[in-house]
Amino acid sequence: MIFPCLRSDALLSVPFLPSPLRPLSGRKNRSGMTMIELVAALALFVVILGSLMTVLNTATSLWTSSRSQQHEQAAAQNISELIANDFYQAVTDSGLASNDVPETTRPTFLLSTPPTNASPDDVTLVLAFARHASPQTFTAEGVLADPNLRVSLDAVFYTFYNNTLFRHVIPLSYTSFAEPEPLGELLHDLRAAVENKTVHDEFLAALADPSQEPSAKWTCVVLAQRVELVVQAALPEAYVRKQDNAYDREPTEAAAGTGFALPPTYDRLTSDVLPDQLDLALHLFNEADWSTWQRLKNDTSDDATRKKQHLGVLLSKRIAFPTKGGSRLP
């Protein structure tokens, strides 16, 4: 069979047959995603976003915790330095052993660590002593002390109330220079005022609301809230007052091979002389850690013990009194 010859231009005009490997002339090429691909992409996006949010939340939590701990650490350091500075300026008017002092006289140094089972509403007089006066100390009436009527000494009291540490400073003055009162008597006359529960409530209320004004006008500073405190002092046995059995301690045994013993330590102490050294332990908390600490405080399980080790900021400091540099008498 003979086919007629076709010209080349005629071949170009002949349409090609449809092929499954080539789209039809009317079908458009699409670059979109199918429903399955879209769902898979969204799921992957959610997973990645969730991972990023977890990392971000963890980093934010660690940064907030670190910043809070830095604040508590700085506060604890400032408190310890303030107590040390007060003690470096502390004085006493008696160099006699306490056992030789008549029982009618008052001690010039008092120390008491707040009991662990104490009620939050109890006021504990942590420290009481006299130090060289500051020119910016206010009297109980709220005015600067008159330099002509003072003995250049301030009474310093550290009190503990409702897990809050307070510092009170009141100038000491004699009513008569002809018959001056002993320093212990002057300190004792002010104890009732600084141990008053109502006074502490007023200072806390004024701290929360500056528009409120406490009735007590002397110099008082709220050093820290949500704090636990331990204070111990080292002093030779002969200088410890023995009228109260709670302050009596057995002497420390002599160190092996040395022939002498270290002074015993006391967490409650009344004396007419200043101790050789003071050991201070401060445990400060932020609000979140304090809530957890109160819940786990009496829990002795291993899990609770591990958690409590990471709560709050603990600072320990030993304050050794200078042995040189002059007399400690006023």
In tens, the pLDDT along 235-257 reads 887 788 765 544 445 445 544 45
pLDDT value at 326 more than 50: no
Q: Are 137 and 169 in contact (CB under 8 A)?
A: yes
Structure tokens at 304: 């609770």
Q: Enumerate residues 6+ apart whose C-beta is below 8 A from 271.
A: 98, 107, 108, 109, 235, 239, 240, 241
Phi, psi of 198 (to 5 degrees): -60, -40
Instruction: Look at strands 227-234 and 153-161 and give their pairing.
Output: unpaired
Look at 81 and 148; give whichever has higher pLDDT: 81
Please give the average per-residue pLDDT across 67-75, as a whole number.
74
Q: How confident is the model at residue 150 (pLDDT cuts 50, 70, 90)?
A: low
User: What angle is formed at CA 273 by the lines to CA 272 and CA 278, rounded to 5 degrees?
Assistant: 125
Tens-place pLDDT, residues 205-229: 888 888 888 888 888 889 988 888 8
pLDDT value at 17 more than 80: no
Is this prediction's pTM over 0.85? no
pLDDT value at 79 more than 50: yes
pLDDT value at 180 more than 90: no
- Per-residue pLDDT, 325: 44
Q: How confident is the model at residue 195 (pLDDT cuts 50, 70, 90)?
A: very high
- Per-residue pLDDT, 71: 78
- Per-residue pLDDT, 42: 87
